Amino acid sequence: MTIKFEKKYFDELANLKINKPQGQLSGHNSGEPFCDEIYNFLKKKNNNNIFKQYEYLNQLLKQNSSKKTAQERLELFKGTFGFIINRGKTSLKKWTPTAMFEEKQNDTADILFIDDKVNTIIDVKTKNISKKGQPPNIISAYKMAHIAESIINNNDGDKIDINYIGIDWELNGNFLDLKEIVIRDLFKITPEKIYINWAAALQIQFDVSTIDQNYTKSKKDWASDYLKTYIKSVQNRKEKLDKNFMKPFLYLLDH
Amino acid sequence: MTIKFEKKYFDELANLKINKPQGQLSGHNSGEPFCDEIYNFLKKKNNNNIFKQYEYLNQLLKQNSSKKTAQERLELFKGTFGFIINRGKTSLKKWTPTAMFEEKQNDTADILFIDDKVNTIIDVKTKNISKKGQPPNIISAYKMAHIAESIINNNDGDKIDINYIGIDWELNGNFLDLKEIVIRDLFKITPEKIYINWAAALQIQFDVSTIDQNYTKSKKDWASDYLKTYIKSVQNRKEKLDKNFMKPFLYLLDH
């Protein structure tokens, strides 16, 4: 079964509200409960397909319990999807059925939809619409360059999807009310429109609800176009370091 | 009166504890109350000299109420100290006695010690000793390059000090207990030992309690040595962007 996450799919969540978290509202303490709600909702609809990243990793390693060395386990992570979700050799080596992976804030995916044709990486991004803020960090531009490299070299872009669920919410008394929910497909974003913030941990940043969705070519084309944008952005950053951050101070070096 | 902040000066605070803030402990909600305690302590000892940055700016503009244009007000911010605390032309233009400056999280100084000989910028950095974390953001390396430039060009380094108060604390039931308090002088840090994190908003980062304090030359020499370190760090960053972030992907551009 292949699934297309569309706005319609989430209609039942239109009136979703969560309890206002204790203490000062932050991106973290407001984002997490919404993410849990989305996870529970998806899990109820597709119990066998939906996992948190660590849950899937644990299942994969349990189902391959004969593979015990890091090298054998690495074999389970071939291809682009494996590259995205793999926590690395050291972690794989340490894993045992009694010391399994736990939830980790910096895992790439909030939620996975596992399927025999297409695996979908789902990331939930929440926004307090009463606050004007910077667009959120989406994913490391450097990691995305490696993902693009993998898509080109393995030619397996048709086996993955990367989707963002954007949740706009508003504080309403003791609740955070969901105001809008949007679904965005990473591979429909025209790569030229992607912004990389090199001073914010090399993160791709965009506002989920307003990001472009007009790219129509294949995932391999997307990967190639992304790398062009990425390399241009590295070059721009180098020039900016030179022009804005270095040159203005060179005249002082003889003092 | 000139004051030297030394460890001894803070002896009375040895048993300081603050109430555990509501909600999940964060750098922000634990740091702020400790900073307030330090401010109140210093204010009690030196009422006429101690200000939060916005308080001093308001007093300065009130005492010069005849100066009404941004240009006239900019004249009040000559020299290195003025450069550090100035909030910029647009803010100066908007200021009126009925629309004064308010506290702002990204002001350079947490606290100012104002004096006719030496003005001291004081920044309070707090650390949960039970957690291993990255060293804190200290100040933008780019802003510091401008400060160094100003010290050289105005030759007024002897009129400013920049001090860091490091507070190590530990959760103890419903309280955060102060475990250690240290005072560090920016201009005693050997500039070569300063680390700049270009991917974290260009911030200088160091652990306050363990940072070097062995520099003995003048502030002008420090400024000059800092700029050498800074420029070398820009160059390293450019090379890293090239070598690690760009070159590995160039072979893919023909796909």
Per-residue model confidence as pLDDT tens digits over A39-63: 999 999 999 999 999 999 999 999 9
Using CA atoms, how far residue B32 sits from B35, B180, B201, in Å, is 5, 17, 21
Residues of chain B found within 8 Å of residue A149, distances taken between Cβ atoms: 249, 252
Which of these ranges, A73-82, A100-109, B172-181, B217-226, has the smallest mean pLDDT?
Answer: A100-109
pLDDT at A144: 98
* Whole-angstrom distance, CA of residue A191 vs CA of residue A169: 28
Residues B245 and A142: beta-carbon distance below 8 Å: yes
Residues (pLDDT < 70) of chain B are: 1-3, 255
Asked if B160 and B200 touch (Cβ cutoff 8 Å), the reply is: no
Using DSSP, state whether B210 is helix, strand or coil.
helix
Cα–Cα–Cα angle for B153, B137, A142, rounded to 5 degrees: 105
- Verify whether the Cβ–Cβ distance B231 to A224 is below 8 Å: no
Contacts of A172 (CB under 8 A, 6+ apart): A17
Write out chain A residues lying below 8 Å of B26, CB-based. 26
Q: Does A251 lie at the interface with B, CB-CB under 8 angstroms?
A: no
The Cα–Cα gap between A144 and A202 comes to: 10
Of A228, A230, A253, the CB nearest to B227: A253
> What's the confidence (pLDDT) of residue B104?
87
Per-residue pLDDT tens digits for B59-87: 999 999 999 999 999 999 999 999 999 99
Flag whether pLDDT at A2 surpasses 70: no
Tell me the one-letter amino acid at A60.
Answer: L
Structure tokens at B156: 């007024």
**pLDDT recorded at residue A27:** 81
Query: Distance between CA A166 and CA A126 in Å, rounded?
Result: 6
Q: Does A142 touch chain B (CB under 8 A)?
A: yes
Q: Look at residue A253 and give its three-state secondary structure.
A: coil
Q: Name the residue facing B241 among A148, A199, A237 (closest C-beta).
A: A237
Per the CB < 8 A criterion, the answer to whether A157 and A223 are in contact is yes
Q: What is the pLDDT of residue B2?
A: 54
Q: Does A202 touch chain B (CB under 8 A)?
A: yes
**Does B246 contact A at CB distance below 8 Å?**
yes
Contact in structure between A112 and A52 (CB atoms under 8 Å): yes
Cα angle B194, B199, B200; round to 5: 70
Cross-chain Cβ contact B22/A23 below 8 Å: yes
The SS3 assignment for B87 reads coil
The helix or strand, by DSSP H or E, that contains position A92, with its residue range, turns out to be helix A89-94
Contacts 24+ apart (CB under 8 A), B14-17: B14/B178, B14/B181, B15/B178, B16/B177, B16/B178, B17/B172, B17/B175, B17/B176, B17/B177, B17/B178
Q: Does B245 touch chain A if contact means CB atoms closer than 8 Å?
A: yes
Contact B226, B217 (CB under 8 A): no
User: How does residue A29 score in pLDDT terms, banded at 50, 70 and 90?
Assistant: confident
| Beta-carbon contacts of residue A85 (< 8 Å; ≥ 6 apart) | A53, A56, A57, A77, A107, A108, A109, A112, A121
CA distances from B68 to A84, A236, B75, B97 (A): 58, 41, 11, 11
The answer to ipTM > 0.90 is yes
Q: Which residue has the tokens 């794989």?
A: A92
Q: What is the pTM of this model?
A: 0.90
Eight-state DSSP code of residue A11: G
What is the rounded CA–CA span in Å between residue B40 and residue A59?
55
Mutate to test the interface with A, among B221, B252, B254 (most CBs of A within 10 A): B252
Predicted pLDDT at A1: 44
Burial class (CB in 10 A: 0-12, 13-18, 19+), A209: middle
